[in-house]
Structure 1
Amino acid sequence: SKGSFITFKISSDQAINQIKLFFKEDNFDRLVNLEGSQNLKEWYSIVDSYRILSIRNELTAYTFTSLKLPDSKHQYYRLFVNGTNAPELKNAQITLKETTEGDYKMHTIKSMRTQEKKQNRSTVIDIDLQTAVPVSYIKIEGGNDFDYYRSVRIEYLRDSIKTEKGWRYNYQNLSSGILNSIEENEFRSNSKITNKLRVIINNQDNEPLTIGAIQIKGYTHELITRFTTPATYFLVYGNAKIGKPSYDLQYMSNIVPEKLKTIELGTEKRIEKKGEKVVAPLFENKIWLWAVMGIIIALLGGFTLMMMKKK
C-alpha cells in the first residue's frame, strides 16, 4: 500500500513503550504500522493498523498521536504512515512510561437512568450507587459502530436540601474530557465520597450515542498499624470532637514491610453516649414554688402588721 516511512534510531539500550508524534499539519486521520529492528535488515512488527487522528476547528481541538505499545527493545524503529500526502512529522518523543496502578474496588450500580435533553442537545445519565462510597475512576463503554467525538462532564452529588417542592440536589464537577471512539474512555479524578453520579454528554448536532456498560471504581483504602504488646485493641470512630491521631508510622512509611499480616475486625458495637447528669431544681413544679412564695409574703405581711400595732 502507498505511504511514507519514518525511521528512528535509539541511542540507549533502554526499552520503550510509548511514542508521541508531533506533526506540522492538523486535521488528518491515518493508520500507522510500527516495526523494530537491530540491523535495519530484519524488521519485526510491533503494532499494526494503529489509528492516529487530529481535529482542529472553531469548536474542537483534539489530537491523538500517541502510540502505546508493549515494552520493546530495538535499536531502530520504523513507522509507516498509510496513504498519500502524509502529514509532515515535526518531532517525536520516545519514552518508557512506567505506571503503578492503584488498587481499585469495583462499586455496584443500583440503577441507571438515561434522558435525552433535546433542548440542550445533550444526553444525561443519572447513576445511583448502592451506598455512599469513594469514587475516583469511571469508564464509559460505547455501543456504537461509527466514529464519534463528544465532550463529556461527570458530576457527583455533594449534598441535598429538602424543600417544600421536594429534594434539591447539589452536583459538583468530578471529571471532564472527550468521549470518543478511539481511546479507552477512562476518567480519573480525586477521590470523592458520593452515592449519586451524573454523566452529561454534549451531542451538538449529532444523534445520541448508545452507551454500554459503565464501570465505577474507588481506591482500596488500608489501615496499617503496629502492635508492640499483646492486648485487646479497639478501632473507634465517629467522635467529631477528637483530633487526628499522630503515630510514628506516618513519618516512616518507607520502612513498612511489603508483606503484612491481615487482621479481621470483630462485631461492630455501638457506644451509647451517656447523658450528663442534670441536678434537679429544688422545686420542679411551679405550683410549689408559687405556694412557698405566697407563704413568705404572708409571713412578711404578718410581721409588718405586728410591728405597726406595737408602735
Structure 2
Amino acid sequence: MKILLINLFVLLSAFANAQSFTHSLSITAKQNGLQALAVSPELKNLSNTSFSDVRIFDKDKNEVPYFLVNESFNYSSVNFKEYKITDKEIGKGRYTSFIVLNPDKKAMQNIVLCSANSDAIKLCDVVGSDDMKQWYSVSDHILMYNLFDENSVQAYRTLSFPMVNYKFIKIEINDLYTLPLNVLKVGYFEGAISAGKLNSIKPSHEEYNTIREKKVSVHRVRFENASIIDHISFKVKAPNYFKRQARIYVNRSRRVKNTTENYREIVFEFELNSNTPNRFDLKDFREKEFEIEISNEDNPPLEFESIEYRQLQTYLVADFKQGEQYSLFAGDRTLKTPVYDIAYFKDKISQYVPTLEVSDLSALAVVKAEPIVVAEKHFWQEPWFMWLCITVASFMLFLFSIRILKDMKK
C-alpha cells in the first residue's frame, strides 16, 4: 500500500511540474565565465516583458542561472566610470578632438560622452591607433542629437562603433557649422554592455493613406507579435519644408454597463519638423497594431522615404563553460520570474563582458504538435479507470490512517 501511495504522489508531482515551452534555440559557449547572450528582437517580442517564461539549461538539463541587462538611453552618473583622455583640443579648426587611452588594449564597442546640455546636431568620427602616429578609420559620420537631459544640466550619450582594441581612440566632433560641444568627461557605464544599442524590427504589414476630408494622413502598422518599440525615426522625402503634429493611436476596449466599448487611445504625441532629425524615444510601448496619424491642415501629405522602428538591446548574462552546449527555452506563460543568486552581482559587469551575438545562435524553432492518431483505447486508458484507481488509493489511505490512530491509542 505504501508503494502505491508513493507512486501516486510522484505521478501528481510530474503533472504539476510539467513545463510547456513553445520556442527554443541552442547556445555554444566560446569561453569560461560570464558571457552575454544578445537577445534577438524575435525572442524579445515573443517573451514576457520580464522574461519570466525564459529558462536556460545545460546539456544535462540542469537550469542555468542568469540575469537580464536591459540597455537604456539614459544612465545614472553613479555608475559612470571615466576613461583617461589626452590631447584635448576645442574650437581649433574644424573639429573638437580628444584621445581616449586604452593601455590594456581591451575590446571596446562604445564610448559614453558626458556633455553640457545642447540641442545642436553634430557629426562625429572615430579613429584608432596603437602608436599615435598611424591612425585608422573606425567609424565615420556618427550622428549625435538630443544632447540634453530635461532633469539635469548635462547629458550622457553613447557613441557606438565596431569593436576594436586600439591603445588610442580619437574622437573628432565636427564644428564646421556649429559652435563646439562642451564635453565634460568620457567613460562607460558599469552595469551596461552596449549602452543604448538599438536593433531594427520590421512590421509584417504597413499601409499609408490620406483622408482628405479630415486633412490627416494615417500610417497603419502591424507586427506578427506584440512588439517592443523604444525608438522610431522618420525620413521624409517631400516636401522640403514641413511642420506637422502627429500622434500614435492604439485601439482599446473596455467594459461599460455589461457591454464592450471600443475606443482609440493616444499613447504618444510628437512633431515632425524639417529642422529636426525626427527621431523619437518611446517608453513602455509594446503593441501588435497601431496607427500614426499626421495632421496635414491645408498642406500636401508627407511622402516618406522610410519609417524605422527599433528596440533597445537586451542581454541574458550567465556563467558559461567553454565548449559546452546549452539550450534556451521560451514561451511557458505558467512560469514565474526566476530568483537567482547571480543577479546580485549584476553591477560587476561592464562592456568588457564577452557577448554571444545572435549570428552565433541557431534560429528560433517553434515546437509544433505532432498529428494525433486516434487509436483504440484499452480499459486502463479510460478516464473512469484512472478515477477508480484514485478512489481506491484514497480509501486505502483512509483505512491506513485509522489503523495508525488505533495503534497510537494502544
What TM-score do the two structures reach when normalised by structure 2?
0.40
Which of residues 248, 259, 283 is equivalent to 2:354? 259
Are 2:209 and 1:115 equivalent residues in the alignment?
yes
For residues 103 and 168 of structure 1, do their structure 2 counterparts lie closer, same or farther at Cα, with a shift above 3 Å needed? farther
Q: Which amino acid aligns with 1:126?
A: R
Greater relative contact order structure (CA < 8 Å, 6+ sep): 2
Separation in 1, partners of 2:173, 2:225: 47
Separation in 1, partners of 2:365, 2:177: 61
For residues 178 and 239 of structure 1, do their structure 2 counterparts lie closer, same or farther at Cα, with a shift above 3 Å needed? same
Aligned-pair CA distance for 1:78: 10
Are 2:281 and 1:194 equivalent residues in the alignment?
no
Aligned-pair CA distance for 1:199: 0.9
Which of residues 274, 292, 295 is equivalent to 1:181? 274
Are 2:217 and 1:129 equivalent residues in the alignment?
no
Separation in 2, partners of 1:125, 1:73: 36
Structure 1 residues 264-303: aligned runs within 5 Å: 264=361, 269=367, 279=387
Separation in 1, partners of 2:318, 2:177: 52
Aligned-pair CA distance for 1:129: 2.6
Aligned-pair CA distance for 1:103: 2.5
Which of residues 302, 315, 318 is equivalent to 1:209? 302
Separation in 2, partners of 1:72, 1:261: 30
Which of residues 210, 221, 236 is equivalent to 1:142? 236
For residues 269 and 225 of structure 1, do their structure 2 counterparts lie closer, same or farther at Cα, with a shift above 3 Å needed? farther
Separation in 1, partners of 2:282, 2:369: 36
Are 2:147 and 1:68 equivalent residues in the alignment?
no
Separation in 1, partners of 2:277, 2:216: 21
In the alignment, what sits opposite 1:224?
Answer: 317
1:249-297 CA distances to partner (integer Å, 9 max, x unpaired)? 222123235114567468565799xxx996269xxxxxxxxxxxxxxxx
**Bigger shift: residues 260-269 or 198-207:** 260-269
Aligned residues of 1:176 and 1:187 also touching (Cα < 8 A): no
Q: Which amino acid aligns with 1:259?
A: P
In the alignment, what sits opposite 1:30?
Answer: none
Same amino acid, percent of matched pairs: 17
Are 2:190 and 1:95 equivalent residues in the alignment?
no
Aligned-pair CA distance for 1:124: 1.1
Separation in 2, partners of 1:252, 1:66: 38
Separation in 2, partners of 1:230, 1:145: 56
Q: Which amino acid aligns with 2:346?
A: S
Separation in 2, partners of 1:171, 1:226: 46
Aligned residues of 1:175 and 1:188 also touching (Cα < 8 A): no
SS in structure 2 of the partner of residue 113 of structure 1: strand
More helix by share: 2
For residues 67 and 213 of structure 1, do their structure 2 counterparts lie closer, same or farther at Cα, with a shift above 3 Å needed? closer
- Structure 2 residue runs of 5 or longer lacking an equivalent are 1-86, 97-117, 125-170, 189-193, 255-259, 371-382, 390-410
Structure 1 residues 237-252: aligned runs within 5 Å: 237-252=330-345
SS in structure 1 of the partner of residue 347 of structure 2: helix
For residues 223 and 156 of structure 1, do their structure 2 counterparts lie closer, same or farther at Cα, with a shift above 3 Å needed? farther
Aligned-pair CA distance for 1:192: 2.8
1:66-96 CA distances to partner (integer Å, 9 max, x unpaired)? 353546689xx9989xxxxxxxxxxx99522
For residues 237 and 14 of structure 1, do their structure 2 counterparts lie closer, same or farther at Cα, with a shift above 3 Å needed? same
Aligned residues of 1:15 and 1:96 also touching (Cα < 8 A): no
Aligned-pair CA distance for 1:245: 0.9
- Structure 1 residue runs of 5 or longer lacking an equivalent are 1-12, 17-35, 38-43, 48-63, 81-91, 162-166, 282-311
For residues 223 and 271 of structure 1, do their structure 2 counterparts lie closer, same or farther at Cα, with a shift above 3 Å needed? farther
